[in-house]
Amino acid sequence: MNTNAKSKTTDLIKEVLPCVSIVFTLLLQLMIPDSASHPQADAHYFTYVLWISLVVWALIFILSFFRQNVRKKLIYKGYFIAGAILFLNIVNLLTVKSALLPVLYFPSLDRIFGVLITDRQLILKCLLYSIRLLSVGFLSGAVIGIISGIAIGFSKTVSYWLMPVVRVLGPIPSTAWIPLVLVCFPSAVSASTFLIAVAVWFPTTIMTSSGISNVQNSYFEVSRTLGAGKLAQIFEVGVPAAMPHMFLGLFNGTCSSFITLVTAEMIGAKYGIGWYVNWQKELLAYANVYAGLIVIAVVFSILITLLFKVRDKVLLWQKGVIKW
Amino acid sequence: MVGELSIKGVTKRFRREGEEDVIALNGVNLNIKAGSFVSLIGPSGCGKSTLLRLIAGLSDADEGELQLDGKKIVGTSYERGLVFQNPTLFPWLNIQDNVAFGLKVRHIHRQNKSLVKEYIKLVGLEGFEKSYPHQLSGGMCQRASLARSLVGKPKVLLLDEPLGALDAFTRMNMQDELLRIWKEENMTMIMVTHDVDEAIYLSDKVIVMSPRPAKIEQVIDIEMGRPRARSNPDFLQYRSKILKILNFGGNVEDISYYI
Ligand SMILES: Nc1ncnc2c1ncn2[C@@H]1O[C@H](COP(=O)(O)OP(=O)(O)OP(=O)(O)O)[C@@H](O)[C@H]1O
Ligand SMILES: [Mg+2]
């Protein structure tokens, strides 16, 4: 009974803590005057962000009394959210409130959030450019990677000729191709697409082929005694059995495609989120740089989450077999 | 009637790095009549699974020839189904899709949908159609893989200890089901088992194998009408005979004494 009551109190603390953290930050933000050495933001955007978070969190808190699953999530995430807000609070104190960090490189949160609002049109445009580049590059790299991986996994001849090429060319960071690619491709867009495709292609190929060669031979044998021909063995047995490896390759590919995207955009692109960050850095507009980085972080983590969702759908059968 | 097997002078060797070759089968001769039920019995490592793999076409004989209905066996075919010693259900397919696999890859799934249901029911897995193999017990998996091989109606069904993981009661039930299917479908069944009673209960012929050099020790015709009663005195006679061949002769006198 006692421990039960105790855990109930901790649960409640976990639920309320984010709100407390937000209110605390808000109080400091409102009460401590900004340091004079920081350039003024055109509005107190961080204050707005805090107010909005407070309202949102309060609403979730209320909702948690009616929805058990919301409550569970809230309790689970409570410490983390409170901690994250505390981190912003400290950043805010170190920058605009005290100017303890170099003012040029560490702009105020007001200004960073401000950029997201005032510069949203350019950022959105850049984002769309990047996503277009990324999706074309990723899809072509993934498709070619899966095809070449399957071919290497199943055909000795293909493996004989292609595997050494993959081994030698694959580990070269795709950005190292930039000088060559710039000469070979007519435009920066096609060059960047190619680089991203290469970045995805390599891990996908390697993981797909190794996945297929790791499939238990008895699966192929069973399928043969059930009347499976060569094609059925490849697509009904080899490919589904290698699917977990394939996703690992795709996941690695996604990560390196992000790196490649951002780097590739720094070479002669006209738009793109990587280009935006680089350009703003040259202008010494660090508030814009951080805003760009925040956008990159948010969008990329959404993409990764999407990939995980797809994987969970496709690999439903794996639940309880292998833990990721 | 189809499904007649003839095995002529078949030898199978396995090469090993740095050690002597293993002779898994040594000049095996065997004729199995179409539509008969045959059991292979013998100590562990005497080449039973190897023989089944040769018949299935999963590996090739070093010497000799295997024929099905007069045609030389080359490679695998759905005509020679094999239920593996450990159930190798595809973990990415649910039970229903596992059972339907053979029909699907042969593109005859559409016209045979009800067959899949029927066989799932027959092995007692109704209600588990949508479950994945890792959600089932070992015995359930074994029954599912049995259904998967049966549903394609092979001419010859090779069974490598298919009932090994089952409890005695389910086992006896499955034995009766096997017999029923065997009679209905007119297929030749060749089953590896370590259970002498099971072999006698099911088979027309019990083939006793011996290891080193791995060969067929004796073929025993079980001349008992069906259905067979496990308490039949003939049953016990066959049993002591087989045990004697397997070198457990010491107990034989005791058994007859108790009768
Ligand atoms: N792929 C292989 N490579 C090397 N040796 C093998 C191979 N398969 C089987 N053998 C050998 O052949 C012999 C017969 O094996 P087999 O699997 O046919 O035995 P078994 O009668 O089925 O035994 P059990 O009752 O234990 O299943 C064994 O000595 C084994 O070591
Ligand atoms: Mg065996």
**Ligand 2 centroid from CA A8, angstroms:** 57
Answer yes or no: are the C-beta atoms of B78 and B65 closer than 8 Å. no
Flag if B132 and A317 touch (Cβ within 8 Å).
Answer: yes
Residue A124's SS3 state is helix
**Ligand 1 centroid from CA B65, angstroms:** 20
The reported pLDDT for the residue numbered B45 is 87
Q: Check if B14 contacts A (Cβ < 8 Å).
A: no
Reported as a single tens digit per residue, the pLDDT across B142-154 is: 889 999 999 999 9
pTM of the model: 0.84
Pocket of ligand 1 (CB under 6 A): B 14, 22, 24, 44-50, 85
What count of CB pairs under 8 Å joins A to B?
Answer: 75
Provide the shortest C-alpha distance from residue B88 to chain A (in Å).
6
Please tell me the CATH code under which domain A120-318 is placed: 1.10.3720.10
Domains of chain B as residue ranges with CATH: 1-79+155-230 (3.40.50.300), 87-153 (no CATH)
Pairing of strands B71-72, B63-68: antiparallel
- With a cut of 50, say whether residue A52 has pLDDT above it: yes
Single-letter code of the amino acid located at B235: F
Flag if A222 and B77 touch (Cβ within 8 Å).
Answer: no
Residue of B nearest to A235 (CA): B105
- With a cut of 60, say whether residue B258 has pLDDT above it: no
CA pair distance B53, B71, nearest whole angstrom: 17
Reported as a single tens digit per residue, the pLDDT across B88-105 is: 899 999 999 999 999 999
Please provide the distance, in angstroms rounded to a whole number, between the alpha carbons at the two ends of chain A.
37
Per cent of chain A over pLDDT 70 is 97
**Ligand 1 centroid from CA B211, angstroms:** 10
CA pair distance A266, B127, nearest whole angstrom: 58
Q: Check if B92 contacts A (Cβ < 8 Å).
A: yes
Query: What is the band of B252 on the pLDDT scale with cuts at 50, 70, 90?
Result: very low
DSSP codes, B116-129: HHHHHHHTT-TT-T
Residue of B nearest to A240 (CA): B92
Answer yes or no: are the C-beta atoms of B101 and B148 closer than 8 Å. yes
The residue whose C-alpha atom lies closest to atom 8 belonging to ligand 1 is: B50
Reported as a single tens digit per residue, the pLDDT across B120-176 is: 998 889 999 999 999 998 888 988 999 999 999 999 999 999 888 788 888 898 899
Q: What is the pLDDT averaged over residues B180-191? A: 90
CB atoms within 10 A of CB A19: 19
H helices of A155-238, in order, are 156-169, 178-184, 188-213, 217-225, 230-232
Query: What is the band of A324 on the pLDDT scale with cuts at 50, 70, 90?
Result: very low
